[in-house]
Chain A
Amino acid sequence: GENVEQHPSTLSVQEGDSAVIKCTYSDSASNYFPWYKQELGKRPQLIIDIRSNVGEKKDQRIAVTLNKTAKHFSLHITETQPEDSAVYFCAASYGPGNQFYFGTGTSLTVIP
């Protein structure tokens, strides 16, 4: 099955700086890559996703890039704010109805 690696495990940035979290996957058949944000004690919330037919997707301060050849995808958060502090998980899937294979998570701290 699929194997997703995520790094770094922890990341601290100053407010206003950018944050980048990277994930790699092993199976080229994966075609859907969501990113979830989980605040302490709350449910994982989808923040952005990308499909394999797209190389980049942006939503305000958040962007995701996908390199199918290298089998890696990254989350970019610009102009970080303290409320961006949370654990971020990447995942890969073979498509609708299939399980998500999750990365190990990145704990992001934005220092005011």
Chain B
Amino acid sequence: EPEVTQTPSHQVTQMGQEVILRCVPISNHLYFYWYRQILGQKVEFLVSFYNNEISEKSEIFDDQFSVERPDGSNFTLKIRSTKLEDSAMYFCASSDFSGGARRDTQYFGPGTRLTVL
């Protein structure tokens, strides 16, 4: 069964550095999402992406964050100048949205653990 993949699995960076987290959504999916989970807290929505533009974003997704679909398969999250509080697990997800019983379902990647020192 196709799965969402993410790289790297763990990223360590210095405060103020830029990081790019990469995701490969399931190939025929049309909606893409980023969520994050700070240790011990709930999973929080960051942004959704559809038809090559941001569909929805949360208050967390400020000017330091950006998303891009640079080609037909990758979906990236960039943090321009990382802060200590950006340390979290970042999950990418995708959904089909083409109708049918699974139109609401979001399929999650394994996550990237970002540690900001």
Q: Which residues of A contact B (CB under 8 A)?
A: 32, 34, 36, 42-46, 49, 51, 89, 93, 95-105
Contact = CB atoms under 8 A, between A and B. Distances in A.
Contacts of B104: 32, 34, 49, 51, 93, 95-96
Interface size class of B (residues with CB under 8 A): 20 to 34
Nearest to B107: A46
Interface in B61-112: 91, 95, 97, 103-111
A48 to B, nearest CB: 11
B105 A100 contact: no
Contact of A99 (B41, B48, B103): B48
List 7 tightest A-B contacts by C-beta distance, closest first: A99-B45, A102-B43, A32-B104, A43-B110, A104-B42, A44-B108, A96-B103
Contact of B95 (A45, A51, A89, A96): A96
Nearest to A33: B104
10 contacts: A34-B104, A36-B108, A43-B3, A46-B105, A89-B42, A96-B97, A98-B56, A99-B45, A100-B35, A104-B41
